[in-house]
């Protein structure tokens, strides 16, 4: 009985070592590289709306004005000024400006 017990323990330990070796082995050679242009097409990017950018950006420094506080011409001037002050990209600034013009 003792021999069978010892044998089963040794077999169990060997099985665990074998599973560990297999699990930790490298699979680097099994994958193929994907060209960069295909990777860029498959990435999922979340883009914020003009309303989200307006709320987050304008409220950092001051209370965000209501879209109806100014007319479209005023919003164009304000967006140019605030683009520089708030360090916005042209795309972000245009999205905010479009939101403000559509909401007033």
> What are the start-end ranges of the H helices in the chain?
2-24, 36-42, 50-61, 72-85, 90-103
Question: How many separate domains does the chain show?
Answer: 1
Residue 84 within a domain: yes
Domain that holds residue 70: 50-103
Residue 24 within a domain: no
Q: pLDDT at position 36, please?
A: 63
Does the predicted TM-score (pTM) go above 0.75? no
Give the number of other Cβ atoms within 10 Å of residue 54's Cβ. Answer: 22
Contact by Cβ (8 Å): 47, 72: no
Nearest-5° Cα angle at 100, 96 to 101: 115
Residue 37 within a domain: no
Residue 76 within a domain: yes
The low-confidence residues of the chain, meaning pLDDT below 50, are none
- Count of alpha carbons within 13 angstroms of residue 49, beta-carbon side: 6
Return d(Cα 81, Cα 71) in angstroms, integer.
Answer: 16
């Amino acid at each position: 009985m003792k021999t069978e017990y010892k044998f089963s323990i040794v077999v169990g330990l060997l099985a665990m070592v074998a599973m560990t070796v297999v699990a930790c082995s490298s699979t680097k050679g099994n994958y193929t590289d994907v060209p960069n242009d295909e990777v860029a097409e498959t990435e999922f990017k979340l883009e914020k709306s003009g309303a989200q950018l307006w709320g987050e950006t304008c409220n950092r420094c001051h209370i965000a004005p209501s879209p109806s506080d100014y007319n479209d011409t005023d919003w164009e001037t304000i967006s140019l000024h605030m683009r520089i002050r708030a360090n916005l990209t042209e795309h972000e600034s245009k999205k905010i400006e479009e939101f403000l013009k559509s909401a007033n």
